[in-house]
């Protein structure tokens, strides 16, 4: 489809930098758009874009009843719960905190996989969890100078857990369905669940959006989420799990730097320490030569770009 042979690292860098801007766009939109309204519009557009991509690549895919059950769970946790808590959490917290908290996803997925799928945990996993936990404490408790935390940070943490849980169920579908149909149909289910939002939130503000707001929404939902996911998975196919995992940190770093430059947020010392501990923890927990990891990382990446 695309030639990534000679310039894979360059493409991976560009793609993950673009994906890192997704959270910044969402945060900037929340200054003028209500969280539930934004979630409803974004996820509807993303679902339509992914369905179009899925149809173009695979034609009509017909999941079995058992597959639909898993797709429903993925849609509920990965779209409905994750996106609602993400939007509300980002409204009251900072994009810097959000980027780092969501960066815990690989660790949370590993733990939930052990709990729900009975996957084996090794010593490196426990070390990675401890290091990442220290990192998240730096962020949430402001470098251990305060043991109070914001409701936004808590919502972002639950958003990360919901996303990680959706990845676990996605892994159960790996080998049965391709990742693009899994993502497209789970987003369709999640967007369908979000149809309850107009009953609890006035959506008339949609008709007052400026052209600039619509451009930002389309960029965040279609380009950075749908096409960003496709591009990152193409890079995974070329780089393998070990190489591609490095670029997950590019997303976090981009969001951190962008929050300071574009949103005027302050990058504090606890953010730096938190990032270092989380990054090292993820590297320790995931850096091994297990062939199954390639599939695992592909499953995880399908919502990395959905944030």
DSSP class per residue in 165-210 = HHHHHHHHHBTTB-HHHHHHHHHHHHHHHGGGGGGTS--GGGGG--
Closest to 281 in 3D by CA, of 125, 162, 117: 125
Structural domains in the chain (count)? 1
* pTM (global) more than 0.85: no
Asked whether residue 241 is assigned to any structural domain, the reply reads yes
Q: Are 19 and 232 a contacting pair, CB within 8 Å?
A: yes
Domain extent for 271: 8-304
Asked whether residue 91 is assigned to any structural domain, the reply reads yes
Asked whether residue 2 is assigned to any structural domain, the reply reads no
pLDDT digits 0-9 by tens, 144-199: 454 556 788 899 999 999 998 998 898 888 778 888 899 999 999 999 999 999 99
Bridge partner list, 174: 177
Asked whether residue 3 is assigned to any structural domain, the reply reads no
3-state secondary structure (DSSP) of residue 283: helix
Mean pLDDT in residue range 32-37 = 95
pLDDT digits 0-9 by tens, 242-264: 555 567 777 888 888 888 888 88
Residue found by looking up tokens 């009975």 in the block: 118
Q: What is the 3-state secondary structure (H, E, C) of 38-101?
A: HHHHHHHHHHHHHHHHHHHHHCCCCCCHHHHHHHHHHHHHHHHHHHHHHHHHHHHCCHHHHHHH
The pLDDT of residue 225 is 86
Asked whether residue 1 is assigned to any structural domain, the reply reads no
Cβ–Cβ contacts within 10 Å for residue 123, how many? 8
The pLDDT of residue 237 is 63
Closest to 303 in 3D by CA, of 151, 132, 86: 86
């Amino acid at each position: 489809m695309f030639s990534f042979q000679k310039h894979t690292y360059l493409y991976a860098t560009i793609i993950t930098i673009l994906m890192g801007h997704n959270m910044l766009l969402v945060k900037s939109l929340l200054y003028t758009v209500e969280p539930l309204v934004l979630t409803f519009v974004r996820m509807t557009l993303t679902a339509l874009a992914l369905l179009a991509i899925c149809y173009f690549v695979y034609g009509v895919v017909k999941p079995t009843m058992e597959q639909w059950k898993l797709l429903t769970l993925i849609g509920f946790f990965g779209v409905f719960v994750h996106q609602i808590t993400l939007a509300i959490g980002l409204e009251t917290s900072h994009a810097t905190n959000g980027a780092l908290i969501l960066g815990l996803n690989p660790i949370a997925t590993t733990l939930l996989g052990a709990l729900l799928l009975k996957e084996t945990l090794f010593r490196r996993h426990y070390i990675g969890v401890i290091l990442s936990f220290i990192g998240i404490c730096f962020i949430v408790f402001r470098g251990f100078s305060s043991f109070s935390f914001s409701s936004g940070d808590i919502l972002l943490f639950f958003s990360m857990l919901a996303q990680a849980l959706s990845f676990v169920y996605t892994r159960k579908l790996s080998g049965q369905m391709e990742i693009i149909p899994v993502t497209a149909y789970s987003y369709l289910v999640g967007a369908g669940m979000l149809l309850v939002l107009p009953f609890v939130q006035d959506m008339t503000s949609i008709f007052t959006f400026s052209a600039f707001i619509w451009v930002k929404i389309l960029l965040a939902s279609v380009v950075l989420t749908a096409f960003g996911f496709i591009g990152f998975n193409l890079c995974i196919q070329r780089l393998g799990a070990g190489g591609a995992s490095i670029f997950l940190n590019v997303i976090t770093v981009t969001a951190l730097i962008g929050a300071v430059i574009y949103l005027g947020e302050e990058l504090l010392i606890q953010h730096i320490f938190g990032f270092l501990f989380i990054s090292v923890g993820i590297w320790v927990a995931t850096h091994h030569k297990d062939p199954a990891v390639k599939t695992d990382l592909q499953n995880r990446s399908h919502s990395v770009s959905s944030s």
